[in-house]
Amino acid sequence: MDLKLQDKVAVVTGARTGIGFSICEELAMNGVHLVMVSRQEADLKQAARTLADKYGVSTLPVAGDVTDIALPARVVREAEKVFHGIDLLVNNAGRAHAGTLLTTSEEDWQSMTETKLSAMRRFCKAVIPGMQQRNWGRIVNISSIGGIYPNPQLTVSHALSAAINNLTRSLALSVAPEGILVNAIGVGAVATDNWAQNMLPNVRKRRPELADKTDEEVMALLGKEKTPVGRFGLPEDIAAIAAFLLSDRNQFVTGQTIEASGGADRFM
């Protein structure tokens, strides 16, 4: 399928690894030029070079923390110096955070809110005026299946995911007449370093019988137990959905949270 994305320009946050990098690669395969945003500058530059060399697209790495209020405007300025403007936005930065309401701290809530929800809001606000001028744009916000089916073991993450889903729909309704489509992807358990670092320790605490198993073995077991398709997702699974939602082939889907969880409503 020709996604009609050749020479579009995309901003992707959390672009260095995992789902963010896979989305960048899927877009690069389709001729999209990339503005890649992440905190680790050296690794980000290497990731950008890898995609540029492999797919022949232009890449612009912009190092920064998405909790920095000034970052979205800086990204837009730097992108407009190099490219014609920004056509696509993927708000992917963030991570899962295990804990119940009683075990999470005020700092947890503030940090996660800034990283997941506030950054998304600011990046949308920064790029939409340019999209309005061109009467065309696509935005995808990476959310969680927990925004639809909350798990009390992930209270912070899932409360914020519900807010992301709600803001996605509200924003989509306001900009649809201007040719801008906005959707979210409710992601389930996906095998990434983020999941291994932030989720597996909590799983091991709650299930001591898994103590002698490797991370790969635990994820394989959980995939069979919790997911109807029998496995964890891969970053490429999410990237393929994102690419369609971001493409010109998508003319009629907006304001939706697409469930991408292998049929599961929980993964812990």
For position 197, what pLDDT does the model report?
A: 72
Element housing 72 (H / E) = helix 71-82
Q: Could you give the CA distance from residue 5 to residue 12 in angstroms, rounded to a whole number?
A: 15
CATH class held by domain 9-188+234-259: alpha beta
For position 267, what pLDDT does the model report?
A: 61
For position 7, what pLDDT does the model report?
A: 95
For position 188, what pLDDT does the model report?
A: 87
Q: Break the chain into its structural domains and give their ranges.
A: 9-188+234-259, 192-232
Q: Residue 63 class from Cβ within 10 Å (0-12 exposed, 13-18 middle, 19+ buried)?
A: middle
For position 163, what pLDDT does the model report?
A: 97
Q: What own/partner pairs with CB < 8 Å and gap ≥ 24 does 145-151 have?
A: 145/186, 145/187, 145/188, 145/259, 145/260, 145/261, 145/264, 145/265, 145/267, 146/186, 147/184, 147/186, 147/257, 148/186, 148/257, 148/259, 148/265, 149/265, 149/266, 151/266, 151/267, 151/268
pLDDT of the chain along its 268 residues, tens only? 899 999 999 999 999 999 999 999 999 999 999 999 999 999 999 999 999 999 999 999 999 999 999 999 999 999 999 998 999 999 999 887 888 999 989 999 999 999 999 999 999 999 999 999 999 999 999 999 999 999 898 899 999 999 999 999 999 999 999 999 999 999 988 877 777 776 777 778 778 887 787 878 878 888 888 889 988 889 999 999 999 999 999 999 999 999 998 888 876 5
